[in-house]
Structure 1
Amino acid sequence: MIALGVQPRILVVALRRLGDVLLTTPLIRSLKRAWPAAAIDVLVFRGTEGILAGNDDVGSVVTLAERPARGESLALLRRLWRRYDLALSTQSGDRPTLFSWAAGRRSVGFVDAAGIAARLKWLALDFPVLATGGLHRVDDVLRLAEAIGIPPVPEVVAPKGPMPSGIAPDRPYAVIHAAPMFRYKRWTLDGWQVLAAGLDARGLAVLATGGPADRAYLDEVWTGQPGVCRLDGTLPWPQLAALIAGARVYLGPDTSVTHLAAASGTATVALYGPTDPRLWGPWPAGGLGAPWDAAGTIQNRHNVWLVQNPPSCPWAILPCQQEGCLRRLDSHSQCLDELTVSQVLSAVDAALASPAPARMGASGAAG
């Protein structure tokens, strides 16, 4: 382990989307376990800081616009200059590497194998780590912990806050988060509606969550569904996390909220299409154990059931890791369009049949 003193100041740079920031929390936890008295700050894009709310490992959060003006970036560089004993970049890009190098008296980060910029980064960083593919994002980011000689702690830390009063029903409930960021990760409108009816038939109240920007799409999903209690746009991240933690089961596509649900320990049913779960599958509470397979009908790891539809892929290459069948963000994905409600409900039934201790700690695979 590198020597930093008893109360070091540490900066973690995670300039990515919400789910990526959440999957950086195992690195932050590893740092906090290695240096319990450390003050750990995190640099993120403005608008993603909520995913770190209530995280006891984080001292403060520094934000930057995703497309900042030159003056904002320069001002932040001056503000952070050599302020930290250690700074870690969780990406190999120029901007996060620059902030890591500038902020830390010692710096760690990923570096690509080739290119002029890569050679400069190899020289600039005190602990450069070769950027490689093929690892789950959590395992990948924990390579930074190993590079500085500290034990990796593979625990995703969800936002923490109180359960919102007057929202959770007085009977067991399910949470559905139907809206991913991009169209190509969506399931069908009919699928969600019939699924909600199936949950109701199993004695569960159905709560539907979503962000303010999801309102128009969720109007399409839940119109004519009076039994579904809509909470979209009403809950900050800590309260959303508390609501999901109290659910009997959570269901959602490949989205940051699904990663949050998996980390909370709640029985989580994740609907995956083009995304490769080996790299970006939900990370269960207590760790992944056996890696996700590339494709399967229903796979189970700890408290997560991952549902895919391999036979429907027209190119037989699921997961294709592409932006839908049309290779653009607003594309459909045939593998999700043809995913049946019966298959999803099979995963739900397996999740509901699993006793709470098994959901938190068991591991296995099916399909």
Structure 2
Amino acid sequence: MLISQRSMPNQKPLNIQPKRILVITLRYLGDTLLVTPLISSLKQAYPDAEIDVLLPASNAGMLEGNPDIHRLLPVTGKLGGLAFGKLLLSLFRRYDLAISTQAGDRPTLCAAITGKTGIGFVPDDATKAWWKKVLLNRWLVFGADYDHAVLENLRFCKLLGIAPCYRLTPPQSSTPIPSITNPYAVLHIMPQWRYKQWHADGWRELVAFLGRQDLQIVLTGSGNPAELDALRELQQRLPSDVINLAGQLSLGQLSALIGKARLFVGPDTGITHLAAATGTLTFALFGPTDPEKWAPWPYGYSENKTPFPSRGSGQVHNVYLLQGQTEQNCLPCQLEGCDRNRNSHSACLDQLSGARVIDVIAQALQAKPPVTSG
């Protein structure tokens, strides 16, 4: 759906020149990266402004080294009511412009209280949205028919009367990464939740294929103990020369590692979004999640329309999206697995064969490599 179709009739562009801006993003790791085009748009329009970002402390690494950001305001854990109130009081009207990139209660309150001008999303539900419309100076409806997350965030550009910037900015680190002399492929096997996992047999087949292409295999992952244990168990069934760097790199280092790789393969996770942003050849394995809304944003893609449709696999620039397979023709269901919980399996990923993934990667390796961000 086009942005203009969902703009509210009373939403005239704001005529402001803010010197201090706060961007509020309080959800997941991938959401943090997907807000960077909006941040770049703000810096492009207001080059002298200081842009701060309020975000969970666990996501701060995704914005490491971002040249458009003045300061990060990390929030540790879920604040209780008193602590949240103290945070709002400490930031009261400190910003000329505050933008909430989520329609939740807390992000809305943050935008309304910290900004002399506060704008944000409101839900497409009059019973939940009325008070948010009252508090915010301007607002955009975030409905069930929402577009790709990057494009949704860039809707604020029209509200501000500024030009959009479609480029994602991956994190950067000055800390060196481990030296890998041979051409290598990065595999990010473990997503945060079970329902996004591809099966172990597929990963083993893929590792064997990439080894035959003379590519060193490098495994990455978070420092979560359960994920590390699962990855070590899988590694025992892989060739002994596989390098496992899970839990050992910052997000800035991981960005540099992926940026120098021949290719990256990963599931529907924030790290796959990061891989796409580096310009490296990226293969994203998608199951229940709708690609039209959440596919990795291809490097160099700058159109005001979602890069991938809801159904089917395909390639846009450096990103190859491989959608799972299911006999029920139920993709994308946008549910948390077949059992409707995050620890559930997803039949569509269980039925995505290693042969199919290998075939797509083999064809891509024969083609001219994409131009990366360097």
| TM-score for the superposition, normalised by structure 1 | 0.93
Structure-2 separation of matches of 1:68 and 1:195: 43
Asked whether 1:316 is paired with 2:329, we answer yes
State, as a whole percentage, how many aligned pairs show the same letter: 41
Aligned to 1:70: 81
Aligned to 1:217: 230
Structure-2 separation of matches of 1:106 and 1:89: 11
Structure-2 separation of matches of 1:131 and 1:163: 39
Contact 1:251–1:268, Cα closer than 8 Å, also in 2: yes
Asked whether 1:295 is paired with 2:307, we answer no
- Other structure's SS at 2:116 match: coil
Contact 1:249–1:348, Cα closer than 8 Å, also in 2: no
1:74, distance to aligned residue in structure 2 (A): 1.3
Structure-2 separation of matches of 1:204 and 1:224: 18
What does 1:72-151 correspond to in 2, within 5 Å?
72-132=83-143, 133-151=145-163
Aligned to 2:50: 39
Aligned to 1:197: 208
Structure-2 separation of matches of 1:263 and 1:321: 24
- Other structure's SS at 1:135 match: coil
AA aligned to 1:48 is N
Asked whether 1:248 is paired with 2:262, we answer yes
Contact 1:288–1:302, Cα closer than 8 Å, also in 2: no
Structure-2 separation of matches of 1:207 and 1:114: 46
Asked whether 1:354 is paired with 2:367, we answer yes
CA RMSD of the aligned region, Å?
1.7
Aligned to 1:168: 179
Structure-1 separation of matches of 2:133 and 2:114: 17
Structure 2: stretches of 5+ with no match in the other structure: 1-12
Contact 2:291–2:309, Cα closer than 8 Å, also in 1: yes
Contact 1:180–1:255, Cα closer than 8 Å, also in 2: yes
- Other structure's SS at 1:105 match: strand
* Change beyond 3 A, Cα 1:148–1:261: same
* Change beyond 3 A, Cα 1:41–1:33: same
Asked whether 1:180 is paired with 2:180, we answer no
- Other structure's SS at 1:95 match: helix
- Other structure's SS at 2:125 match: coil
Contact 1:215–1:232, Cα closer than 8 Å, also in 2: yes
Structure-2 separation of matches of 1:93 and 1:175: 35
- Other structure's SS at 2:264 match: strand
Asked whether 1:239 is paired with 2:245, we answer no
Superimposed CA distance per residue, residues 182-230 of structure 1 (whole angstroms, 9 cap, x where no aligned partner):
0000011121112111111011001000111120110122113212100
- Other structure's SS at 2:108 match: helix
- Other structure's SS at 1:129 match: strand
Asked whether 1:227 is paired with 2:241, we answer yes
User: Mean Cα displacement is larger for which, 154-163 or 277-286?
Assistant: 154-163
What is the count of residue pairs matched by the alignment?
A: 355
Aligned to 1:330: 343
AA aligned to 1:84 is Y
User: Mean Cα displacement is larger for which, 335-344 or 175-184?
Assistant: 335-344
Structure 1: stretches of 5+ with no match in the other structure: 361-367
Aligned to 2:39: 28
Superimposed CA distance per residue, residues 273-332 of structure 1 (whole angstroms, 9 cap, x where no aligned partner):
111100000001112646312222x3101000011233x24x311111111111111111
Contact 2:259–2:372, Cα closer than 8 Å, also in 1: no
Asked whether 1:257 is paired with 2:271, we answer yes
Structure-2 separation of matches of 1:207 and 1:288: 31
User: Mean Cα displacement is larger for which, 111-120 or 82-91?
Assistant: 111-120
Contact 2:278–2:372, Cα closer than 8 Å, also in 1: no
